[in-house]
Amino acid sequence: MKEEIRESVRGFVARIASELAPRSFWREPLVGFIDAADSRLSMLRRVVGESHLLPGDVLPSAGSVVVVFVPFVRQLGCENRQGRLAARSWAEAYVETNRMLAELGKHLQQQLAGRGHTLVVTPATHNFDPERLVSDWSHRHLAVLAGVGKLGHHNLLITEHGCLGRLCSYVTDLPLETDAGPNHEPCLHRAGRTCLRCVQRCVADALREESFDRRACYSQCLDNDGRWPDLGVTDVCGKCLAGLPCSLVDPVGRMKE
Ligand code: B12
Ligand code: SF4
Ligand code: SF4
């Protein structure tokens, strides 16, 4: 069943990508699973926040969580590297990917309904408390538990296809086993090597060696909101994802190959 869901996700993303051509946003998605009974899920309340939801809060009959990481194409990172403000293509990728991830949820919902199963779609973003700037459903932390990757110093998920991309997660009543993740730290700094390129790239001094100032980061994201009225909400920045050793690959995993 896992392979069927993976195939379905890959097929759906490829179909939407072909509809958007010649604009190109995505590489092949990665999919991981967490068993809803995985005891590590309770850690979310300790690590992320006491009000973080568990799969059973989203769907009482939860059997597992499906986590999808959609890596962006190299070009988007190259275009977003320049200047202090975000590139229009980065904002477009944000809007189109959020839309596509919501549609992907509906597609999986229909597919599973045909077999008598339920799936609940959670939003890709804007499900956070505007005061604390924290969400009660952290796709990044769920992705780590689902074995899709691990967090880097920049606080973002690094997968075998890098960190440049977006995530979503869906709760289903299908009972599926948890996937194993990498058994190493993909972030060079966390693996004890010299890097911190992400800190150098931050344009708002929000990301530092010792800390992350989410308000300074959000303020920088808001500087980009409203610049393209035709795109809607674009509170983005993403300079700390572009042009890094971990943007497109897992740099530590590569060294081990
Ligand atoms: C709220 C939010 C924000 C806020 C707050 C920032 C933040 N770091 O959470 C703002 C608006 C500022 C923001 C900015 C960005 N976001 Co945002 N954001 C979210 C959202 C909605 C919830 C995240 C959350 O609340 N997590 C729970 C909290 C408690 O976790 P945390 O903030 O990581 O807290 C940990 C750290 O503080 C860490 N920590 C402790 N000490 C230290 C020290 C240092 C040095 C560091 C770095 C961390 C750290 O410990 C905490 C517990 O683990 C998610 C979508 C979702 N629902 O998951 C997207 C999400 C995390 N964002 C994403 C992205 C891409 C961005 C931006 C690049 C903007 C853009 N799209 O251009 C920047 C990147 C900033 C950064 N380097 O983290 C992606 C991440 C993709 C990835 N590869 O991981 C997500 C998953 C959206 C998506 N659907 O893809 N975001
Ligand atoms: S740029 Fe370097 S230090 Fe920053 S997350 Fe990537 S590998 Fe880690
Ligand atoms: S998104 Fe922008 S402001 Fe926020 S940490 Fe990354 S580079 Fe800095």
- The model's pLDDT over 11-37, given as tens digits with 9 standing for 90+, comes to 999 999 999 999 999 999 999 999 999
Q: For a pocket test of ligand 1, which of 214, 220, 237 has the largest count of ligand atoms closer than 8 A to its C-beta?
A: 214
Q: What is the DSSP string of 200-246?
A: HH-SSS-B-SS-B-HHHHHHHHHHHTTSSGGG-------GGGSSSTT
Average pLDDT of the residues in 212-231: 96
Pocket flag, ligand 1, residue 127 (CB < 6 Å): yes
In a domain, 160, yes or no: yes
104 lines ligand 1 (CB under 6 A): no
> In 3-state terms, what secondary structure has residue 78?
helix
Question: Side chain identity at 32, as an amino acid letter?
Answer: G
The average pLDDT across 235-245 equals 96
Res 256: pLDDT: 81
Mean pLDDT of 53-73: 96
Task: Please tell me the predicted confidence (pLDDT) of residue 131.
Answer: 84
| 227 assigned to some structural domain | yes
Confidence at residue 197, expressed as pLDDT on a 0 to 100 scale: 98
User: What is the average pLDDT across 196-205?
Assistant: 98
Please check whether residue 256 lies inside any domain of the structure: no
Write the Ramachandran bin of 39: left for phi over 0, alpha for psi from -120 to 50, otherwise beta: alpha
Atom of ligand 2 nearest to the CA of 196: 3
Residue 158 lies in a domain: yes
Rounded mean pLDDT of 129-134?
A: 84
> From the CA of 30, which ligand is nearest?
1
CB 220 within 8 A of CB 187: no
Helix orientation angle between 74-81 and 88-113, rounded to the nearest 10 degrees = 150
Domain hosting 137: range is 2-249
Ligand nearest the Cα atom of residue 218: 1
130 has pLDDT over 90: no
pTM: 0.95
- Given ligand 3 and candidates 220, 221, 225, 236, which is best to mutate, with the most ligand atoms within 8 Å of its CB? 220
- As for ligand 3, residues whose beta carbon falls within 6 Å of it are 201-204, 206-207, 217, 220, 237-240
Per DSSP, helices labelled H in the chain are 2-20, 43-47, 55-58, 74-81, 88-113, 139-145, 197-201, 214-224, 251-256
Is 113 inside any structural domain? yes
For residue 192, being part of any structural domain is answered with yes
- Percent of the chain whose predicted confidence (pLDDT) is above 90: 88
pLDDT reported for residue 242:
95
The pLDDT assigned to 128 comes to 76
Q: Phi, psi at residue 226, to the nearest 5°?
A: 85, 0
Give me the sign of the Cα torsion angle 136, 142, 66, 123: positive
Q: What is the pLDDT of residues 162-190, one digit of tens each?
A: 999 999 999 999 999 999 999 999 999 99
pLDDT at 102 over 90: yes
Closest-approaching ligand to the CA atom of 136 = 1
Residue 210: pLDDT above 80?
Answer: yes
64 within domain boundaries: yes
- pLDDT the model gives residue 229: 94
Domains contained in the chain, number = 1
Quick check: is 6 in a domain?
yes
Average pLDDT in the chain: 95
